[in-house]
Amino acid sequence: MEEKVLTKNFGVKNSHRIDVYLERGGYQAVQKALQMDPDKILEEVKAANLRGRGGAGFPAGVKLGFVPKEVEKPKYLCANADEGEPGTFKDRYIMTHDPHLLIEGMIIISYCVGIHKAYVYIRGEYEHIAQQLEKALSEAYDKNYLGQNILNSGFDLDVFIHRGAGAYICGEETGLLESLEGKRGYPRLKPPFPAAIGLFQCPTVINNVETLSNIPQVILKGAQWFVNKGLPKDGGTRIFSVSGMVEKPGVYECPVGTSLKDIIYEYAGGLKEGKKLKAVIPGGLSAPILKPDEIDVPMDFDSLMEAGSMLGSASVMVIDQEKPILDVLRVISDFYSHESCGQCTPCRIGNSWINKIIHRLYREKGKKEDLDKIIRLASNMKGKTLCPLGDAAALPILSLTQKFREELETYTES
Amino acid sequence: MSPEYSDQTKKKVEEVISHYPKKEAALLPVLHLTQREFGKISKEEEALVADFLNIKPIQVREAVTFYSMIHQKEMGKYHIQVCRNLSCTLMGAGTLIDYLKDKLNIEPGETTPDHKFSLSTVECLGACEQAPCMMVNFDYYGHLDKKKIDQILDDLE
């Protein structure tokens, strides 16, 4: 069943404005949270089993718990609104339709951890959304949900918007930090993790927009309610971004664990013009591809991993029979060779070599060993880079060349 | 002559610097503001930004050459950026890119001689439900076909 919890304000007239948000119960969670002991908030978020919605799926409560309590340095919060994973557009919907939901989540997390300065790192292309978010922030300041002594609680918080400038890698959390500090978005070696040493060398919480937007309801309705919405170890609902060759592309909020098949055929209306399904990418471009007989799978982190793919950002891309798989492979390879930041040799060189081989397949008959060469290069990127981009490129390329080998061999000498 | 900010931009630059505990962290927002005023970040603008943020021009150059939305040369009045990622490709972006190349008689990365249009192919714009899609400057256009592209371009003065 489609569940409108996170998306309940979508489609409501002027839902982006604070008066409408307040009318519909907005900022009640902040009022409640500011009366609570911060440790109790942390407990609640932990018990909710809210897993990061950006892609990695790390439990949000555990991440918060890593932030040291007694430090002299300031602490920071960064909302990751970079939304660069191809196929993903849910955060755009949240920020367009319900920017105050994000702000409310940011206030609660900041209060919980003792943060007084927060940034929204938003991708540069979302210029209009950044402007709207700016307005939402000033509405929140006017009503004293932000600024000094919020609602007479003694708690202060400032939120600033920081626009990116077109680099996928800045969605990776340490690349984001570097970028926020005014540098190239080169990911950092971990550990230390940002919770201990992050922005400006200070403890930092980094959460995806959708993750933060879940916080208000966890506080208002409680962890148990949230867990009941989804699965015991993966609570809540998710906003699935569905695109490609379906009748009704768009965002669908469904409980964590909803079947991929249902998302495609029930919510998104099945394939366009009665076309036949060839393959599905279930979790953003980085996720290994699934064949039609593999899509009867619950959409949660653990099930997708068992199925040999990943839930990632829950972005479903549907490919029909008529599309050459070589085109899919080329798009994936073009993307990663373009977006590799160049810091780690296996990723920089591996992606560009794979890309050259694939483009050669378009121009001339490939060599017999080309596919194996692609597999070898991709395998040599896996696990050998500072950040997950190496894996993110290797995994879909490996799954495509292995699962669709027969079709791809038609481009090479036999 | 070395460029100077208008009073309005200068005010914004100073304001944005105040958002960060370290001046240099304002580099990206300042580059956006600078590019909005001068249309590009060439050597002269690099020096200006470096001066305001109290960093070396090479630090500015490092960022300029890393971020695809920062341009060293001025773009045409309308910068058309067509998504070439998966959902858009599945929905026909390739044909539209070829159509735009023919129509404007330029390749991606080029600008028309009258400086009206620049054409780029870009990675996912985060609007896949409207595939195929493109941006013209900061405006999104989705569900594109050749006819719609004709209309959009005709409407641009």
Q: Are residues A103 and A145 in the same domain?
A: yes
Q: Are residues A308 and A366 in the same domain?
A: no
Q: For helices B57-64 and B27-38, what crossing angle results, to 10°?
A: 80
Contact A78, A118 (CB under 8 A): yes
Contact A122, A130 (CB under 8 A): yes
For residue B18, give the CATH number of its domain.
1.10.10
Q: Are residues B103 and B137 in the same domain?
A: yes
Phi and psi torsions of B62, nearest 5°? -55, -45
For residue A371, give the CATH number of its domain.
1.20.1440.230
Range of the domain at B139: 78-155
What residue has token string 């015991």?
Answer: A232
Q: Nearest residue of A to residue B64 by CA position?
A: A184
Across the range B9-27, mean pLDDT stands at 98
Q: What six digits make up the tokens of A293?
A: 């007989």
pLDDT at residue A70, rounded to an integer: 86
**How many residues appear in chain B?**
157
In angstroms, how far is CA A70 from the centroid of its own chain? Answer: 30
Phi and psi torsions of A253, nearest 5°? -95, 120
Report the predicted TM-score, pTM, of the whole model to 2 decimal places: 0.97
Mean pLDDT of chain B: 97
Q: Are residues A38 and A114 in the same domain?
A: yes
Choose the mutation target among B52, B90, B143 for the interface with A, i.e. most A CBs under 10 Å. B90
Q: Are residues A121 and A158 in the same domain?
A: yes
Total domain count for chain B?
A: 2
pLDDT at residue A20, rounded to an integer: 98
First-to-last C-alpha distance (Å) of chain B: 30
**Can you name the residues that pair with A252 across neighbouring β-strands?**
A240
Q: Are residues A81 and A221 in the same domain?
A: yes
Across the range B34-60, mean pLDDT stands at 97
Q: Are residues B96 and B137 in the same domain?
A: yes
Q: Are residues A361 and A399 in the same domain?
A: yes
Q: What six digits make up the tokens of B27?
A: 């580099």
Residue B12: inside a domain, yes or no? yes
CA-closest candidate to residue A239, choices A317, A319, A313: A313
Residue A1: inside a domain, yes or no? no
Longest dimension (CA), chain B: 50
User: Would you call A111 an interface residue with chain B, using a CB distance cutoff of 8 Å?
Assistant: no
Q: Where does a domain end: B38, B64, B90?
A: B64
Give DSSP secondary structure letters for A47-99. HTTPBPSSSS--BHHHHHHTS-SS-SS--EEEEEE---STT--HHHHHHHH-H
Residue B2: inside a domain, yes or no? no
CA-closest candidate to residue A345, choices A377, A302, A314: A377
pLDDT at residue A335, rounded to an integer: 98
pLDDT in tens, B88-132: 999 999 999 999 999 999 999 999 999 999 999 999 999 999 999
Give contacts of A244 with chain B, Cβ < 8 Å: 86-87, 90-91, 128, 131
Total domain count for chain A?
A: 3
**B1 has pLDDT over 80:** no
Q: Are residues A172 and A297 in the same domain?
A: no
Q: Quote the radius of gyration of chain A (alpha carbons, Å).
A: 22
Q: Are residues B55 and B85 in the same domain?
A: no
ipTM over 0.95? The verdict is yes
pLDDT at residue A1, rounded to an integer: 65
Residue A68: inside a domain, yes or no? yes
Q: What six digits make up the tokens of B152?
A: 């959009």
What residue has token string 């060779």?
Answer: A337
Contact A336, A370 (CB under 8 A): no
Torsion of CA B138, B139, B143, B149, to 10 degrees: -100
Range of the domain at A397: 325-409
User: Would you call B133 an interface residue with chain A, using a CB distance cutoff of 8 Å?
Assistant: no
**Can you name the residues that pair with A51 across neighbouring β-strands?**
A59
Give contacts of A341 with chain B, Cβ < 8 Å: 66
> Which of A117, A126, A335 is opposite residue B123, by nearest beta carbon?
A335
Helix (H, G, I), strand (E, B) or coil at B24: helix
Q: Where does a domain end: A289, A320, A351?
A: A320
In the 8-state DSSP scheme, what is residue A266?
I
pLDDT at residue B47, rounded to an integer: 97
Q: Are residues B95 and B142 in the same domain?
A: yes
Q: Are residues A120 and A209 in the same domain?
A: yes
- Asked if A179 and B28 come within 8 Å (Cβ–Cβ), the reply is yes
CA-closest candidate to residue A336, choices A347, A344, A345, A324: A347
Q: What six digits make up the tokens of A256?
A: 């964590």
- Asked if B90 and A317 come within 8 Å (Cβ–Cβ), the reply is yes
Q: Are residues A313 and A371 in the same domain?
A: no
pLDDT at residue B2, rounded to an integer: 83
Contact B52, B13 (CB under 8 A): yes
Q: Where does a domain end: A183, A206, A229?
A: A229
Q: Where does a domain end: A290, A320, A350?
A: A320
For residue A81, give the CATH number of its domain.
3.40.50.11540
Helix (H) or strand (E) holding A176: helix A173-180
- For each of chain A's 414 residues, which pLDDT tens digit applies? 677 999 999 999 999 999 999 999 999 999 999 999 999 999 999 999 999 999 999 999 999 999 998 899 999 999 999 999 999 999 999 999 999 999 999 999 999 999 999 999 999 999 999 999 999 999 999 999 999 999 999 999 999 999 999 999 999 999 999 999 999 999 999 999 999 999 999 999 999 999 999 999 999 999 999 999 999 999 999 999 999 999 999 999 999 999 999 999 999 999 999 999 999 999 999 999 999 999 999 999 999 999 999 999 999 999 999 999 999 999 999 999 999 999 999 999 999 999 999 999 999 999 999 999 999 999 999 999 999 999 999 999 999 999 999 999 999 998
User: Would you call A182 an interface residue with chain B, using a CB distance cutoff of 8 Å?
Assistant: yes
First-to-last C-alpha distance (Å) of chain A: 48
CA-closest candidate to residue B135, choices A124, A272, A224: A124
Q: Are residues A35 and A175 in the same domain?
A: yes
Q: Are residues A337 and A191 in the same domain?
A: no
Q: Are residues B35 and B90 in the same domain?
A: no
In the 8-state DSSP scheme, what is residue A246?
B
- Asked if A166 and B19 come within 8 Å (Cβ–Cβ), the reply is no
Q: What six digits make up the tokens of A359?
A: 């483009």
Contact A295, A303 (CB under 8 A): no
pLDDT at residue A414, rounded to an integer: 81
